[in-house]
């Protein structure tokens, strides 16, 4: 009987004593570890994403600086490239008959001329405004005479940035038609001129003793350059040549190109260029360029080397400029830094900063110096 009671006691024991599982403490520990792991992964992702955005911002600023240098340096080198005309030993205005109405923005033989924004030279402290603005022409000056910015550029150039105009000649890629060099007011070529309609052309005799500067009227795919009449701007003072051109005639395209900082299509500051004669719409070249600063290497002893670098408003004689030093501040497209960029930047001797303690964009200063090789020929 006792054995039976004991067996029943064992049989009626609670079943929970034989179950297995997680205690409440173990569950809380597991949840905490999971949260810590998730937090760590999230932190790594956010840090990596922030690093990626900053790297992309730096790359954009560097790329913009490279583009600016790739555009300006070759054009400065070729400034004043007047070929055999420069070897005649006479001023170009004595060799070339300027047939254009109204003349040129600056003398034909002058390689470069710049305009300095007042108060941005070496030793000045400059605050770049947060909002882009385009002041009047009187805010710039050129040379000791203090010539104002050309009226064609007023209202387009951003404050605190310099302007430069470059004169150059580019030989046509095809020669004159030796069998029939001239037909009335047209100089015939051995192929298409590739010079757009209404552009300025310089034609010289084979020995470069004389030449004429005129505006052409036919298209780039014409196998001749034809002198325009007075129905275009600036037009010519007549539509017939004063010279008789020969098989050895040399033909060039003349350009007078302005470079400056303006407001781009996306609202960002950008490097622009504009053909000044004939006046054409501006071209946006590089976005994210906040300022362009220029110093001019002046040859004071006649050895074709720069003896001093000065801003445009201190250049006494533009024909003595033998090299150009340029600097730009480029910035990232987006605000990618952890905190506001309130750095001071040394830009060719002027101290530049951002208004309102800056923003969170990456900024770089890039500097280049180029010799005007055309002037040395």
Q: pLDDT tens for residues 143-191?
A: 977 889 999 999 999 999 999 999 999 999 999 999 999 999 999 999 9
Rounded Cα distance, 142 and 114, in Å? 6
Element holding 51 (H helix, E strand): helix 24-78
The dihedral of CA 301, 304, 305, 306: what is its sign? Answer: positive
pTM, two decimal places: 0.85
Whether 108 contacts 100, CB under 8 Å: no
Residue 12 has pLDDT above 60, yes or no: no
In a domain, 276, yes or no: yes
Rounded Cα distance, 334 and 150, in Å? 34
Element holding 66 (H helix, E strand): helix 24-78
Number of domains in the chain: 1
Q: How many residues does the chain have?
A: 377
In a domain, 28, yes or no: no
In a domain, 302, yes or no: yes
In a domain, 326, yes or no: yes
In a domain, 74, yes or no: yes
What pLDDT was estimated at residue 193?
96
First to last CA, the chain: 131
What pLDDT was estimated at residue 55?
80
pLDDT confidence band for 195 (50 / 70 / 90): very high
In a domain, 7, yes or no: no
Rounded Cα distance, 76 and 168, in Å? 9
Closest CA relative to residue 292, chosen from 78, 65, 59:
65
43-47, 219-223, 341-345: the lowest-pLDDT one: 43-47
Residue 230 has pLDDT above 80, yes or no: no
DSSP reduced 3-state for 344: coil
Mean pLDDT taken over the chain: 87
The per-residue DSSP string of 249-268 comes to -EEEEEEEEEEEEEE-TTSS
Between 83 and 71, the higher pLDDT residue? 71
What pLDDT was estimated at residue 85?
79
Element holding 41 (H helix, E strand): helix 24-78
Whether 61 contacts 362, CB under 8 Å: yes
Beta pairing class for 125-128 and 350-354: parallel
Share of residues in the chain with pLDDT > 70 (%): 91
What pLDDT was estimated at residue 258?
97
- Give the residue-averaged pLDDT of 233-256: 93
- Give the residue-averaged pLDDT of 39-54: 69
In a domain, 8, yes or no: no
Alpha helix locations (H) across 79-214? Answer: 92-95
Structure tokens at 185: 């007011």
Residue 310 has pLDDT above 90, yes or no: yes
In a domain, 294, yes or no: yes
- According to DSSP, residue 179 is labeled S
DSSP reduced 3-state for 229: coil
Q: Which residues contact 26 (CB under 8 A, 6 or more apart)?
A: none
Write out the residue range of the structural domain in which residue 298 sits. 55-376
């Amino acid at each position: 009987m006792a054995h039976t009671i004991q067996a029943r006691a064992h049989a009626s024991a609670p079943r929970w004593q034989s179950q297995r599982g997680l205690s409440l403490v173990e569950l809380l520990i597991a949840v905490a570890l999971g949260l810590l792991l998730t937090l760590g992964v999230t932190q790594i992702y956010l840090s990596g994403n922030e690093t990626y955005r900053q790297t992309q911002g730096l790359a954009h600023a560097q790329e913009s600086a490279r583009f600016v240098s790739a555009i300006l340096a070759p054009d400065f080198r070729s400034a004043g490239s007047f070929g055999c005309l420069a070897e005649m030993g006479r001023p170009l205005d004595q060799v070339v008959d300027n047939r254009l109405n109204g003349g040129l923005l600056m003398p034909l033989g002058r390689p470069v001329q710049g305009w300095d924004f007042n108060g941005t030279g070496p030793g000045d402290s400059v605050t770049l405004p947060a909002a882009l603005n385009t002041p009047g022409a009187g805010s710039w000056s050129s040379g000791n005479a203090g010539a104002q910015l050309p009226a064609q550029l007023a209202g387009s150039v951003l404050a605190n940035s310099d302007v430069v105009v470059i004169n150059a000649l580019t030989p046509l890629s095809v020669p004159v038609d030796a069998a029939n060099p001239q037909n009335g007011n047209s100089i015939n070529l051995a192929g298409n001129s590739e010079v757009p309609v209404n552009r300025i052309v310089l034609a010289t005799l084979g020995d470069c003793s004389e030449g004429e500067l005129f505006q052409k009227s036919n298209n780039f795919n014409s196998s001749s350059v034809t002198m325009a009449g007075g129905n275009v701007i600036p037009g010519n003072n007549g539509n017939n040549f004063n010279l008789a051109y020969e098989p050895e005639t040399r033909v060039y395209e003349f350009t007078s190109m302005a470079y400056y900082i303006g407001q781009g299509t996306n609202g960002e500051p950008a490097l622009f260029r504009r053909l000044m004669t004939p006046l054409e719409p501006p071209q946006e070249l590089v976005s994210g360029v906040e300022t362009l600063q220029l110093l001019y290497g002046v040859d004071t002893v006649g050895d074709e080397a720069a003896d001093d670098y000065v801003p445009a408003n201190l250049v006494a004689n533009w024909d003595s400029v033998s090299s150009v030093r340029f600097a730009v501040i480029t910035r990232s497209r987006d605000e990618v830094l952890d905190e506001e960029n309130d750095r001071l930047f040394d830009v060719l001797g002027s101290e530049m900063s951002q208004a309102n303690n800056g923003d969170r964009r990456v900024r770089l200063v890039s500097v280049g110096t180029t010799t005007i090789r055309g002037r040395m020929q």
